Amino acid sequence: MPGIVAPMRNTVERLDKPSSYAMSKYKKRKRNDTHTDTTRPASPDLEEKLADATTLYVGNLSFYTTEEQIHALFAKCGELKRLVMGLDRFTKTPCGFCFVEYYTHQDALDCLKYVGGTKLDERIIRCDLDEGFGEGRQYGRGKSGGQVRDEYREEFDPGRGGYGKRFREDQEGFADEYAGGA
């Protein structure tokens, strides 16, 4: 733009950017990557990789939220190309996240702007740009099969299987004692 020395792109922050979580995760990975394998080119920058992204990671879903519900909300930003439910690695039941793929990048951005942070099935959902679904990524990476964040959760969340599984195991010893006392 001629004549303008703008140190800023917008006067307010944009919501259609990768979240700070995604950026920090990426930076961490990059730091740990010593890049000894010279046969493989350095992986491109995250922002670059996401420049045409049509997929979103959707988090904080209830385990009971169905594909149809997700479809009903997300189709408000454009036709869905694919919807992959996140599953518990062992039970193969939904574990509270999914990947939504649109036909266009713009639809994915619109979704970040207008749907991320609103409610689905009465929970605030989280959306993040994603570099694209790959086989295997539909499974939870937590020890007990679900998402890592659900392992140690100390709050009771009825939509996501009650207390965290690991947390529950840790507590069980005490619970037995109390049961014995009663």
Partner 1 sequence: MADVENRRDYRGGGRGYNNQKRKRNRDDDDADGYRNMRPRQEAPPGTRIRRGLLEIAEDPLRLPHEVAANVGKLAADNWEDEYVRDTFSGVALKLVVEQPFKIPFVAGVVLYANADNGEIAKDIISQAAPLLQEYLGAGQWREFKLMLRFFACMSQLYEEDGIIPILDELFNRAVDLQTASPDDAVGIELVKIILVTIPYLLAATEDASLQQMASEVLEKTDIVASTPHPIEALVDPYPNTTEQDGKPMACTSVISLMQRQLQEEASNGWQLKCIPRVYDPNHKASAANGDGADETDGEPKEFVKHAFPTITVPSPVNTGTKPLFPEIYFSLYADQEIESVPPTSNIASSLLRDAILDTVNILDFNRNVTARFLNEIDCYWSPGTFVKRATTFDKLRDMSTDKPTWKPEDVAIDAIFSQIYQLPTPEHRLVYYHSLITESCKISPQAIAPSLGRAIRFLFRNVDTMDMELTYRFMDWFGHHLSNFEFRWKWAEWIPELDLSNLHPKKAFIIGTLDKEIQLSFAKRVRDTLPQEYHPLIPQSKENEVPPFKYNDEATSFAKEGREILQMLKKKAPEEDVQNVLNAVHEQAANHGIDPLVASTDIYMTAICSVGSKSLSHVLSTIDRCKERLLAVGSQSEPARRQIISSVVGFWADHPGTAVNIVDKLLNYTIVTPMSVILWALQDHMDRGRALANSQIYELISITMFKVTNRVRQVLRERNNPALPFYQRQQIDEALPRERQGMRDLFAAIEDAVAGVAQGAQDEMIERYDGEEVEQQLIQLWGARWARVWRRKAAVEEAVVGDAVVQPLVEPVEAVEDTVEEVAPVDALGSEDMDQI
Count of residues in the chain: 182
Three-state secondary-structure class, residue 179: helix
Query: Which among 5-13, 30-38, 147-155, 166-174 is the span making contact with partner 1, rule CB under 8 A?
Result: 5-13
* CA dist 182 → 36, 102, 120, 169 (Å): 61, 55, 41, 20
Query: Which among 42-50, 71-79, 141-149, 167-175 is the span making contact with partner 1, rule CB under 8 A?
Result: 71-79
Token pair belonging to 48:
């670059």
Does residue 60 touch partner 1 according to CB under 8 A? no
Least separation in angstroms between residue 77's CB and partner 1 is 6
Contacts of 45 (CB under 8 A, 6+ apart): none
Q: How far is CA 122 from the centre of its chain?
A: 17
Q: Which is nearer to partner 1, 29 or 82 (CB)?
A: 82
Does residue 113 touch partner 1 according to CB under 8 A? yes
CB of 136 within 8 A of CB of 129?
Answer: no
Q: Give the Cα separation of 61 and 159 in Å (integer).
A: 8
Does residue 48 touch partner 1 according to CB under 8 A? no
Exactly one of 83, 126, 159, 166 binds partner 1 (CB under 8 A); which one? 83
Three-state secondary-structure class, residue 7: coil
Exactly one of 53, 56, 61, 73 binds partner 1 (CB under 8 A); which one? 73
Least separation in angstroms between residue 42's CB and partner 1 is 24
Least separation in angstroms between residue 36's CB and partner 1 is 33
